[in-house]
Amino acid sequence: NFPAIILDVAYDEVITFILALEFEHNGTSYTLDSLAVDSIENVPPGMTYSSSSTGYVPGEAYCSQLAGTPTLAGEYAIRFYLSPYIDLGSGPELLGSFLDDTSVVVTVYDPSGLDPNLVDEFQVLPVVPNPFTEITQLSFYTPFDDHVQLQVYNILGEKMHEEKKGATPGEHQFKFSGNTLLPGTYFYRVRNSHKIYTGKFIKTK
């Protein structure tokens, strides 16, 4: 799966995958000879999806890239139109044309959620996404120049992460990587010069 995607934030991620040996259709499994991708649709607006190949052989490793700046939040099941060739012992044979819209599903998250009635106050927005696997984002709004600190603790109260940034008036983000964390529940504390906010998030595998 691709890491979290945030609305209006530049994104460029590459994942590696290996094509499975079997292709299942109508409850029957076929041994794949190769697989062709004829077209791709429903990529998030403002983004492009590309791959190191348009034809795939089982057992080989390939790379796919999702890049761009998303312009519309929502969940996107990327649609792949496929032509699988199966091995019948006498040579590859086209099984037909198929739509795969379940293998790659990505979500573009909108971190905004500011209360317009509190524009004169420091605000901390919910962690997005939560739960998360690799990267999550915590946004905050400050109406004045300030220094804001993020601290992350495990359930035993041990500090796992700390960072601080200077912020001008407006909305800002902490992008937190959980690559060094074990799966589980963690607590965060966001502090500015006047207030302390606390919350929790869940790191999954």
Res 143: pLDDT: 85
CATH architecture for segment(s) 116-203: Sandwich (2.60)
Res 185: pLDDT: 92
pTM: 0.55
Categorize the per-residue pLDDT at 119 as very low, low, confident or very high, splitting at 50, 70 and 90: low
What is the tens place of the pLDDT at every residue in 34-57? Answer: 999 999 999 999 999 999 888 899
Res 147: pLDDT: 93
Categorize the per-residue pLDDT at 195 as very low, low, confident or very high, splitting at 50, 70 and 90: confident
Residue 175 has pLDDT above 70, yes or no: yes
Q: Domain extents for the chain?
A: 5-109, 116-203
What is the tens place of the pLDDT at every residue in 64-82? Answer: 999 999 998 887 899 999 9
Residue 134 has pLDDT above 80, yes or no: yes
Provide mean pLDDT across the span 109-121. 62
Same fold, 5-109 and 116-203: yes
Burial of 161 (0-12, 13-18, 19+ CB in 10 A): middle
Tell me the C-alpha distance between 65 and 58, whole Å.
20
Task: Measure the N-to-C terminal CA separation of the chain; round to a whole number of Å.
Answer: 11
Could you give phi then psi for residue 180, rounded to 5 degrees? -95, 0
5-109 folds as Immunoglobulin-like (2.60.40)
Long-range contacts of 116-121 (CB under 8 A, 24+ apart): 119/143
Residue pair 138/170 in contact (Cβ under 8 Å)? The answer is no
Residue 114 has pLDDT above 60, yes or no: no
Instruction: Tell me what the pLDDT averaged over the chain comes to.
Output: 86
